[in-house]
Structure 1
Amino acid sequence: MTKLSFSIKVKHALIDMNMKPSDLARRTGYSAMYIHNLLNGKRRWNEESMEKVCNVLGLEIQIISKSRSG
């Protein structure tokens, strides 16, 4: 299983949904600059921002034990 960073997965989801980061910003209530900074690694994701982005993009975060992931 290939590991992807959260930002990369979000970027892929944006492409799949034909959305721009500014669209995501509007739908999450964040500024476009904040979303761009998250996606570019200039800001760190937190639980609230991850939840809002997942809700908009229809994504789900799963926590899997290391013993089961490999």
Structure 2
Amino acid sequence: MNFSESIKKILKDRDLTPSALARMTGYTPQHIHDLLAGNRRWNETTISKTCEALGIEILIVPKDEKKTI
């Protein structure tokens, strides 16, 4: 699962819209929609603001470690 798909799943699970995420992060709704659709690339700043707004973090785990989160 890529980052956009993970964020879409979190938004769905929390009953949030991309527009709500835009308000939470300070980006325009169009910018968030473009990120989620793959029309824009995520960068360190957008990832950081999104994680902060949603209260999540990114963990780096080697592929050979099967870890359930």
Q: TM-score range by the shorter chain?
A: 0.7 to 0.9
Q: Unaligned regions of 5+ residues in structure 1, if any?
A: none
The two structures have a TM-score, normalised by structure 1, of: 0.85
2:53 corresponding residue in structure 1: 56
2:42 is the alignment partner of 1:42: no
Give the whole-Å Cα distance in 1 for the aligned partners of 2:8 and 2:65. Answer: 27
Give the whole-Å Cα distance in 2 for the aligned partners of 1:59 and 1:14. Answer: 12
Q: Unaligned regions of 5+ residues in structure 2, if any?
A: none
Higher RCO structure, 1 or 2 (CA under 8 Å, sep 6+): 1
Q: Counterparts of 1:1-70 in structure 2 under 5 Å?
A: 4-66=1-63, 68=65
Identity of aligned residues (%): 47
Q: Given residue 56 of structure 2, which amino acid in structure 1 is its aligned partner?
A: L
State the Cα RMSD in Å: 1.2
Q: Given residue 25 of structure 1, which amino acid in structure 2 is its aligned partner?
A: A
